[in-house]
Structure 1
Amino acid sequence: MAVSVPILAVIVSLHLIAFVLAVGAERRRSTAKVVPDEYDDQTFCVYGSDASTVYGLVAFALLLVSQAVVNGVTRCLCFGKGLVSGCSTTCTVVFFIFSWFSFLGAEACLLAGSARNAYHTKYRGTFGVGNISCATLRKGVFAAGAALTLLSLLASILYYLAHAKADTGGWEKHHEEGLGMATANFTHHQQHPGGEFEKA
């Protein structure tokens, strides 16, 4: 399988857009402040923009599409033609595992961050009692997702390139070997047309 520049461009583009969105999600996390209720002695939380949730979910979707493209082209390493044994195949398996671990880590951070960022509490307690805070997403979740997205990009590219190098068409290789043996047998029979019947 030859390396396809359009496939590489799609993989890189989707990952980079997901990375930018994850960084944007980190910068646009929901903020909240405790405000006293004017009608009773309760307090409630007033939240800011929810853009971070949307950014995180879009990044999640783009990363999922990119991973589907990579594994669709390579047939998820398991359903394609056989790979030749050697260093290239070992590297392919290592990068395949690395790409899945980084992908799942990034997706977990993006999804958990989006869900937590979308979670809004309302009333927090009695006015004037203790230090009351509103539930917000902890800093660094989307940043971790962005970092793992870059790792996923690197792993996906290395996996794709290693797979392209190792994929010499296992079935075609054996098929050509079979053709070579058939040709050799045919040549042998041409040189000795009588075969065993000549001995009689």
Structure 2
Amino acid sequence: MKKSCGGVILRVARRIGVIILILILPILSVSCYYGAKPYIDTVDKICEDYAIEPELALAVCKAESNFNTNVVSRAGAIGIMQILPSTALWICELRNMEYKEEYLYRAEFNIELGVWYLSYLSYFEDRNWQLAAYNAGEGTVKNWQKQGINLENIPYSETRSYIDKVNKYYDIFKKRNFFN
């Protein structure tokens, strides 16, 4: 029986994809470790205060900024956990903290606000909805839920990708056992 050329190409492509994935995963794991290393103690201490898994906070840092404290997004989010100045002001007012926008470039301050916000969003109960709210906004996610939209049908492709990315990094950080 003659095999189709397309079928053979597809099988070869799948094998190559698996090989590439096997080669890339250790590199990704190492890049996660070295990026996270300067922040491990800070993240651990802050996460303990807010009952957030430190691996989740590191995964958000990796996905949001690749551990870059000076990055500013197109939307204006700043720092390692990409906090919008308006969100930072709101958090600081709630918590009676001094706020200046330049503080968002300080890793410890930014992580404190980001982890607090993750803790605040934990009322969503499902971590994926919590991450969706961190990325797309709390009000947006509440509206999706009211409309009966499930995670697989989130209208923002960026948010769906974000959830997948954070979960991938979370798994890597869990396997590295930084906090055990």
- Assess same fold via TM > 0.5: no
TM-score by structure 2 length?
0.25
Higher relative contact order (CA 8 A, sep 6+): 1
As a proportion of its length, which structure holds more strand? 1
Q: Which has the higher helix share?
A: 2
* Max Rg structure: 1
